[in-house]
Amino acid sequence: MRTETPPTVRLEDYRPSDHLIDRVELDVRLDPHDTRVTATLALRPNPAGRAGAPLVLDGDDLSLLALECDGQALASDAYGVEASGLTVHAPPQRPFTLRIETRLDPTANTRLMGLYRSNGVYCTQCEADGFRRITYFLDRPDVLSVYTTRIEAEREAVPVLLGNGNPVEAGEVPGTGRHYAIWHDPLPKPAYLFALVGGRLDRVSKPFTTMEGRPVEIAVYVEPGKGDRAAYALDAVERSMAWDEAAFGRAYDLDVFNVVAVSDFNMGAMENKGLNIFNDKYVLASPETATDADYAAIEAIIAHEYFHNWSGNRVTCRDWFQLCLKEGLTVFRDQEFSSDMRSRAVHRIAEVRTLRARQFPEDAGPLAHPVRPKQYAEINNFYTATVYEKGAEIVRMLRTLIGEAAFRAGMDRYFADNDGTAATVEDFLRAFETVTGRDLARFAEWYERPGTPRVAVSSHYDAAAKTYRLAFRQTRPGAGADAPPLVIPVRLGLIGAEGPLDEATSERVETGVFVLDAAEDALTFENVAAEPVPSLFRAFSAPVRVESTLDDAARLILLRHDPDSFNRWEAAQRVALGLMARQARGETIESAGADDFVAALNAFLDADALRDPAFAAQVLALPSEGDLADELETETDPDAIFSARRALRRRLGTGLRERLTSLREALAEPAGTPFSPDAAAAGRRALRNAALDLIAAADPQAGAALAQAQIDAATNMTDRLAGLATRALLPGEPREVALTAFAERYADEPLVLDKWFAIQAMIPEDGTVARIRQLQSHPAFAMTNPNRVRSLIGSFSLANPTQFNRLDGAGYALVAETVLALDGTNPQVAARLMTAFGPWRRLEPGRRAAAEAALRRIVATPGLSRDVTDIVTRSVAG
C-alpha cells in the first residue's frame, strides 16, 4: 500500500507521454496466490513527446520476474525498479518490443484494485490506476492500445474465462487440468478499461441485432444458483442498447457484451470494454429480495455503464482532470434514459434530491472542487458528486441553451470528431460551437469554478401598465469581485390565481428560457392582467440556490396550478423547509401556516394522488435533515433539526390522517396480483408507504400495528422493508422481534442483510452507536466487503445526523475507528467514509470541536494511505 505523502498533480503540467504502446499481448496464468502475467508491449517513441526520454512505466505492488527488449534480457544496469514503477534508462529510439513477466497474489489483494479474487472469482478493477498492479505499464488514459489477452486457469475451479472484446480461441492445456481462452479487442483503449474474469459462474443471455445489422450476444454472469435474478439486468441491457440507438444514434461495436456480478467491489460498476463488471447489488433482483429502488438503480447503472461504450470508451478522456467528460456526460445520458423508461417529472425530482443531498454540501465544504479540478493528490478521491451530478447538470444546461436539435447535432459531431481519441472538455464544447456558431467560452466557466451560485430574484407588478418586472442578481460564495458572471439558463413562466398566464410575454424569453449572463439583469412581461407568481428555474434548469421573496401563500399557488411538476414539488418543499427552519431556530410558528400547508396537501391529494401516485409520494416526502441543515447553513444543531422535522411529520400525519388511510386502502393491490417493478406499480407502493410513514409519525401505536401487518402480509421486498423501516423507528421489544425475524428469514441473502444493517444504523436513538458496535461482530458483517461496510457505517454516518453528530463525539469516534481499521486493507473505501465529515465546520461549537478532534486523531496516525491522507488533510485545512 502506498503510504507516502501524495504528490500534487496539476492540470497545467500535462504533457503527452514520451512513448506510445500500439499493441498489448497479455498471457495471464491464474492461480490463487501465484498468478503469472506476461505482457508483450509494442512500443514506439511519441513524436509529441521528448526525444530520447527514458521509458518510465507505472507499477504498484508487483514482483518483477523477467524483462526483455526485442527478445534480449536487459542487463541489471539498463533499468531500475522502484515502488512506483520501472524505468528503462535508454530505450530504443524506434519501434521496439518489451516483454515483462510479473507475479501477483490475487487472494491477498484486499484493496480490490488490479487483479483480485471475490468469493473464488478472479476479477479486475483498473480505473483509475489499477492496471499498474497487474503489470508495468504507461497507466494513463491518453495511451490507447489494441489488446489481445490469453487467460489460463484450472478448469474445475475456474470454468469461465472472460476478457475484453471478442472471443477468438479456447481450448485445453494438455496434461494439466487447465484450459485457456483468448480474447481480442480490436478497438484501441486505455489501460483503465482492461478487464478479465475467471470463475464458476451461471450465465443468462439473449441475442440483439444493432441498427447496423450486427448480431450481438448479450450475457449476464452471476454466482451459481442466482441466474433467475439476472433477468431484469439482462432486459435493462437490451433496452439500453435500443435506446442509445434511438436517442443518440450510437450502435454497439463488438460481437458480445458481457456483464459480470461480483460480491466484493469498491464501486457500483465498471465500463470495461465489452466486459462490464458490477457490484452484485446492481445486477441481482427478485421481488422477494429487491426493492423498487433496487430495480430502478439496476436499470440506471446498467444503462450508465453501457452508455460509456461511446461516452468514455470510444471517446475517452485525455487525463483524469477531464473525468467529468465521461462521467458527467454519461450521468446525463443515463438520467435521460431513466426518464424515458419511467416518469420524467418524478425522476427529475429524484435527480435534484441527490444533487442537493450530496453535491451542494460538497460544494460548500472543505472538499469543494471545480467540475474539472485544477489539481489533485489522489485521483480516486475525485469520483465525486461534483464530477458526476454537477457535471451532468452542465450538459443539461447546454441542451437548454442551444435546444434539443442542436444538442443532438453537437453530440453527433463530438463523437465523429473524437472517435478513437482521448478528448478534453474543450473538444466537447468545440463540437457544439461548430454546429451552432456560438461562442461557448463564457459557458465553459461552469467547468472551472467550485461553489454553488446563488440567484436572488425580486419582482414588481405595475397594475396600471399591466407589466411585471423580474430582477435577477447572481453571486457565488468565495468568488472574487472580478470573477465574471456565469451563463445561467432560467426556464420560467407566470402563474395566476387560477392557472398559467400564457398571454403574458417578454421579448427576453425564448422558448420559455431567459438567459442570465450578467451579474445583474431584469426582464419585463407585458399583458399581465393581475399580479402573478413567478415559476422560476422550471425543471431545475440550473444548479443554483434561488433566493426569492415569495411567501408561503404564493408557493401554495404554485403547488396548485403550476404546469411544471418539478416546481409544484419545489413549492411544497420550500414551504416545509420554512416551517421546519423556523422551529429549528427556536422561533414561534403560527399554527395557521402549518394548517394552510395541511389544507393545501389535502387538496393536492384529492386532485392528484390517484392520478400520479409516484409524484404524490415525492410531494409528501419532507426535506431531509440534511436539506434543513443546508438551509440553516451555519451553527447547526442536528438535534434541533431532527426535532423540527419530527414535529412537522407529526403535524402532517395528524392533519392528513383520514386521506392517508383512504389512499392506503385504494392503492392496495388485490391478493394474487403479480409483482411488477414498472413505474406505475412502484409509484403505487411508494405512496402507500409514504402514507404509512406519516401515519406512524402522528400515531406511533397505530403506525406500529399497520407496519407489522404490512410486514406479515408483504409479497415483495419493497413493502416488507418499508414496514420494517417504520417499525424500527418505534422503540420496544416488538421492534427487536421484527428485526430478528427479518434477519432469520434472510440469513442466506447478503444483499438483503445489507438493508437490515442499514435500517438499524439509521435508528435516531442514543443506543445506536452501541447497536452498531454489536452488529460489527455479527456473522454476516465483514470489513472486507465494501457493501457491508457501506450498509452499516456508511448509512450511519450519512443518514443518521443526530447520532453521527452526537454531542459527546461517540459517533465521530466510531467512524474514525472504522476508517483507521479499514485503511490498511482497503484505503479507497476508508477514504469514502471520511466524506461524512464534510460539513463539520457548519456545526454548532460543541459538535464542531468533537468532529475536529476525531479528524485530528486520524491525521496524527502514522502510515496512513494516500487516499485517507488526502481527504483528511483537505477536511482539516478547509
Percentages helix, strand, coil for the chain, rounded to the nearest 5? 45, 20, 35
- Separation between Cα atoms, residue 295 and residue 283, nearest integer Å: 9
Determine the 3-state secondary structure of 26 from DSSP. strand
Instruction: Give helix 679-698 / helix 292-307 axis angle, nearest 10°.
Output: 130
- Dig out the grid coordinates for 85 from the structure: 514503477
**Beta-ladder partners of 196:** 163
Measured from the Cβ of residue 144, the count of other Cβ atoms closer than 10 Å reads 18
In the beta sheet, which residues pair with residue 220? 204, 259
Among residues 591, 614, 459, 607, which one has the least CA distance to residue 533? 459
Measured distance CA(266)–CA(766) in Å, rounded: 31
Q: Give the DSSP H or E segment for 80.
A: strand 79-82
Asked whether 292 and 685 are in contact (CB, 8 A), the reply is yes
* C-alpha grid cell, residue 592: 395557521
φ, ψ of residue 492 to 5 degrees: the values are -150, 170
* Catalytic-labelled residue, pool 305, 336, 389, 852: 305
Residue carrying the nine cell digits 394522488? 609
Nearest-angstrom CA–CA distance, 543 and 452: 7
Please confirm whether the linkage preceding 554 is cis (ω < 30° from 0): no
Cell numbers at 29, concatenated: 496464468
Asked if 390 contacts 448 with a C-beta cutoff of 8 angstroms, the reply is: no
Measured distance CA(410)–CA(266) in Å, rounded:
34
Rounded-to-integer distance, Cα 263 and Cα 751, Å: 9
Question: Can you give the C-alpha Rg of the chain in angstroms?
Answer: 28
Q: Measuring CA to CA, how many Å separate 407 from each of 192, 244, 434, 435, 575?
A: 29, 15, 11, 9, 36
Phi, psi (deg, nearest 5) at residue 482:
-95, 5
Q: Give the list of residues 6+ apart from residue 826 with CB closer than 8 angstroms, or none.
A: 110, 111, 112, 266, 784, 786
Q: In what order do the strands lie in the sheet with 85-88?
A: 55-58, 85-88, 79-82
DSSP of 85-143:
EEEESS--SS-EEEEEEEEE-GGG-TT--EEEEETTEEEEE-TTTTGGGTS-B--STT-
Helices (H), 249-318: 292-307
Q: Is 540 strand, coil or helix?
A: coil
> In sequence order, what are the beta bridge partners of 124?
115
β-bridge mates for residue 103, sequence order? 36, 63
Distance in angstroms (rounded) separating the CA atoms of residues 622 and 611: 21
**In angstroms, rounded to a whole number, what is the distance separating the alpha carbons of residues 834 and 821?**
13
DSSP-based three-state secondary structure for 10: strand
3-state secondary structure of 571: helix
Task: Name the residue among 202, 182, 289 with its Cα closest to residue 748.
Answer: 289
Q: 136, 56 in Cβ contact below 8 A?
A: no
C-alpha span between 552 and 613 (Å, rounded): 24
Burial (CB count <10 Å: 0-12, 13-18, 19+), residue 472:
buried
State in Å, rounded, how far the first CA of the chain is from the last one.
26
Residue 665 appears among annotated catalytic residues: no
Active site positions, annotated: 305
